[in-house]
Amino acid sequence: MTERAVIFFEPNEALADGVRPLALEEVGGETVLRRMFRALSDSGVKTCFVAAPPAYDADIRACLPPDMSVTVSDRHDALMEFLDTSGAVAVLPRAALPMKQAGAGFAYAAPGRSLRDAWAVRLTNAVQDAQLLSGWLPLFGRDTLDELRPLFPPESDGTRFHAKPD
């Protein structure tokens, strides 16, 4: 079981003035991040590291389920400290929507120390002992989010596929 997770927000330079990170956008009446946290919590994750500017700390904490803790930081040394564990850590390299029907893709899990070794100098997805995780639809931009919105009506947890209306 994975008790830790790392979620990466898009870099500040990728955001235009006044544009919120994709994880803080709403879909189906709640933020993408709240859906991410809930799915991670349901899978056993107890603590997350969100790689994001501290300016989003309050918004991120507002999305947390009561049984989860979070570290919000854009500092490499803080991430390395979080990864000082032999236990598996789930990695979500970008905002994503949980959907049980989604196959293995971009999300993965690996021992924390393997991630530390791989990320000591630069971030890479080439991590030893990594295993792909299923159940996540990556959001590559607002266009992707807009296309997926009809699949996530309010109070949807991704357990059912919701077809677009005709």
> By C-alpha distance, which of 118, 148, 147 is closest to 130?
118
Percent of the chain past pLDDT 70, that is, above it, reads 86
**Coil, helix or strand for 147?**
helix
Q: Residue 29 CA to chain centroid, in angstroms? A: 18
Inform me whether the pLDDT recorded for 160 exceeds 60. no
Q: Tell me the pLDDT tens digit for each residue of 33-46.
A: 999 999 999 999 99
Are 89 and 112 in contact, with CB atoms under 8 Å apart?
Answer: yes
From residue 32, how far is each of 9, 76, 77, 99, 161 by CA, in Å? Answer: 12, 24, 27, 12, 17
Q: Tell me the pLDDT tens digit for each residue of 90-121.
A: 999 999 999 888 888 889 999 999 999 988 87
Element (H, E) at 40: helix 32-42
Tokens read off for 56:
């989003």
Residue 8 CA to residue 106 CA, distance in Å, equals: 12
Is the whole-model pTM more than 0.75? Answer: yes
Lowest mean pLDDT among 85-89, 93-97, 119-123, 127-131: 119-123
Map tokens 């598996």 to a residue: 88
